[in-house]
Amino acid sequence: MGQFDKIVPYCQQQNHNPDWAKILRQAVVMNAEQAVGLALMLTSRDNGQMPKIPIDNVAQLFLEGNKIKESTAFLLRALEHNRPDESHLQTKLFEINLMSNPQIAEGIFQMGKFT
């Protein structure tokens, strides 16, 4: 039904811990743009939680489907806290865009968000 935003709250309410990578893979195939929101919920560290799936794995799922735009959108939001332990993902973000769309990579660089 495309209601990806309701998957995580429902599973939490039912105390169910599914294979999040499998669900996300299906979501990317069905609607990659909406899957970005689900991916952000699954990688959230709000309230000191551990992510349900690592950011690396999520980026790989988008890239496997050649979803460059969605991968970029996801990584920009997921990495917005500029954490040192995620520097390799910042590099991956630049690498993806340098190879597919250098203008986007330049725009990300000019934003000055990442160190």
The candidate with the shortest Cα–Cα distance to 51, out of 64, 66, 38, is 38
One digit per residue, pLDDT tens: the chain, 115 residues?
666 777 877 888 888 888 989 989 999 998 999 999 999 999 987 666 788 899 999 999 999 999 999 999 999 999 999 999 999 999 999 999 999 999 999 999 999 888 8
What is the model's pLDDT at position 107? 93
Question: What's this model's pTM, rounded to 2 decimal places?
Answer: 0.87
Residue 82 φ/ψ region, left for φ over 0, alpha for ψ in the -120 to 50 degree band, beta for the rest: left
